[in-house]
Each structure stands twice: as structure tokens, then as C-alpha cells.
Amino acid sequence: MAKFSVLLFLCEQWTVLVVTGTNVGLGFEAAVHLAKLKPKRLLLTTRDEAKCKQAKQDVEQRSVTNNIEAWPLELGSFDSVRKFADRIESEGFPINAFIANASIATFTYAKTQDGWETTLQVNYLSTALLSILMLPHLIKSTTASDTARLVIVASDAHFRANKLKGVANWPSILGKLNDEEYCTASVMKNRYELSKLLQVMFVREPASRLPNPTPVSVTSINPGFCHSRLTRSVESNLVMKLMVHVGKALLARTTEMGSRALVHPAVEPSERDRHGRYVSCVEVAEESDYALSEEGKEISRRLWEETIEILAKIDPRVNQIISQHLLAR
């Protein structure tokens, strides 16, 4: 049984936390949990100013605290991600823990204003860009006794991701996944699962390139199947809506229960034991066999190289951060 620690108590009181996607579902419940811990500052993000105002008000009401800020962040726009990073930098906002929670699930192929399939950009590319841009701020907050935390909310859905058949012959993995001709109805039905596999693979790459001992614990986590609003866009027809509702009634955790999985790696000790790992039910677990296979490891390596090449064109800070803080592997 864990014992009370004055040092841990003080660390929690001085911690500055950032959670993305907090106006509904898991992100909102996680924000309430974190607010009740009375951190020094808690920063919430939602897609626009109106939702920011509402999320801040709702979390304050549930947690009875007022040290909360809310900033707009739209992951469907690289420009919004850059502006968010600019604001963090200009205000000198210290970050001890960053929880990248925002995701979408849809069966419909559509492109963002940046020219990327929406799920691919929101769940993977923008999350990767945001994670890299936050690294210097996390590293700056690290102390000898407390490692900063970067938590990416993945899912056990990555076990159900389709294998990328013929990937060895694709000139570009992300280019192929973005191609409208490739993204048939059957491919799009598995797009959310695939995006979660990409997140799990992404976590391994910066984790393996950070110094040892690491200044930032990078973790992917699985909150489980929950009563959240993530499925709202796939409930577009009566059959899907019925299937989702029956599945939730039989199997889903409460959103509050699932949100604890987000909070745990952001505040609990032994963070270095979770570094670079996939965590499920607040325990380190193995990723899917496909992710752990030789093909999966090669895909992970290629994805990292492609991702950095793409993101460096979006924001020049990416290459600077990589060269300054990450080691060649």
C-alpha cells in the first residue's frame, strides 16, 4: 500500500498540467480529476473559444477550484497547433505533464484544409507535431526527483488495426494512407484503429531517442471502451447506432472510470518504468503482435522518418527540437 509522502504531495501541488480535448468525455473527466488534485496550473484545450469557456466553467464547478485556464486548439489545423505552441512559448508556460487526448472516429473520407485525411491528421500528425513542440517545455520542467510526462491516449483498438498489406512497396506510408483511392469504405471503417496503432508506434520512436535517464517519460495509454462521445460520428445510421449502444450497455466502462487511466501516468511515481511503453489498466502491457513484429518495427522506423520530414515543413522548430533533444538511433 502506498504511503503518504511530503515530497510527492509538494510535487503534485507545484505541477502544471495540460490536457487536450476536455469539453466532453474522457478528457473532461480527467480534467476534473486533475483539478481536484489542486495543481499549480491546469490548462485545458478545446476546439474553439466558446467551448473553452464552457469547459473551464464546468470543470471549475465540478472540482471547486479556480486555477484553470482554457485555450483553443483545433487539431484539424496545423496552423492552430503552431499558434498554440507559439502561445506556450511566448507566455513561458511551464509544463510538467501533457496529456494528448483529443481524437476523432469517423468512417467518412474527408480532407482538412491542410490536405490530409481528417482522422490521419487529427489523431496522428497533429498529435505528433504537438508532442514534439511540447518537448522542450517538458524537458525544462524536469527536476532530479520528478520527470516530466508526455501521455498519448491510444487504445486497445490498435490490436484490431488491419495489417498494411504491401507496405514494403509503398514509396510513402503516410502518402498511401492519405490517398483517396486507397481509402475505400472498408479501409475507412478501420481508420480509427489504425490511427491508434500509429500513435503506439510513434511513442516508441522519441522514447528510444531521448537520453538515459530520460528527462521526459513518454507513454501511450489505453483507457478502455468507455461511455464517451467518441463514437458519435459513426452512429450515422440506425444499424451502427444500435450496435454501438448495445455494445456500450454490455461492455463499456463509465467515462469517469476510463479517465483515471489518463490521470495515472501524469501524476503517479515510477514514471521512468513506463517510459516508451504501452499502459493498459494502469499497468505496463505489451502492444499488439503486429506492432512488436519485425515488420511493425520497420513500419515504426519509416513512419518516424516520414513524420519528421512532413512536420519539419510545417514548423521549422521540429528539426531544431529533434537535433537538440533527441539522439540518433
Q: What is the DSSP string of 74-121?
A: -TT-HHHHHHHHHHHHHTT---SEEEE------SS--B-TTSSBHHII
Cα-Cα-Cα-Cα dihedral sign, residues 149, 78, 90, 318: positive
Closest CA to 277 of 214, 220, 205, 209: 220
Residue 228: CB atoms within 10 Å = 23
42: domain range? 6-225+259-325
- Mean pLDDT over the full length of the chain: 88
pLDDT at 90: 96
- Predicted confidence (pLDDT) at residue 1 exceeds the cutoff of 50: no
- The mean pLDDT value for 130-152 works out to 93
- CATH number for position 89: 3.40.50.720
- Would you say residue 252 lies in a domain? no
- Would you say residue 242 lies in a domain? no
pLDDT at 257: 81
Cα-Cα-Cα-Cα dihedral sign, residues 257, 68, 82, 297: negative
pLDDT at 241: 59
pLDDT at 21: 73
Instruction: Determine contact, residues 301/294, Cβ cutoff 8 Å.
Output: no
Confidence of residue 89 (pLDDT cuts 50, 70, 90): very high
- Would you say residue 126 lies in a domain? yes
- Predicted confidence (pLDDT) at residue 71 exceeds the cutoff of 60: yes
Tally of domains within the chain: 1
Please report, as a single letter, which amino acid is at residue 44. L
Confidence of residue 9 (pLDDT cuts 50, 70, 90): very low
- Would you say residue 245 lies in a domain? no
Confidence of residue 135 (pLDDT cuts 50, 70, 90): very high
pLDDT digits (tens, 9 = 90+) for 10-34: 444 445 778 887 777 888 999 999 9
Instruction: Determine contact, residues 158/199, Cβ cutoff 8 Å.
Output: yes
pLDDT digits (tens, 9 = 90+) for 259-284: 888 999 999 988 999 999 999 988 99
pTM, two decimals, is 0.89
pLDDT at 25: 81
- Would you say residue 124 lies in a domain? yes
- Would you say residue 140 lies in a domain? yes
pLDDT at 315: 98
- Would you say residue 241 lies in a domain? no
| Residues with catalytic roles | 192, 196
pLDDT at 20: 84
pLDDT at 251: 56
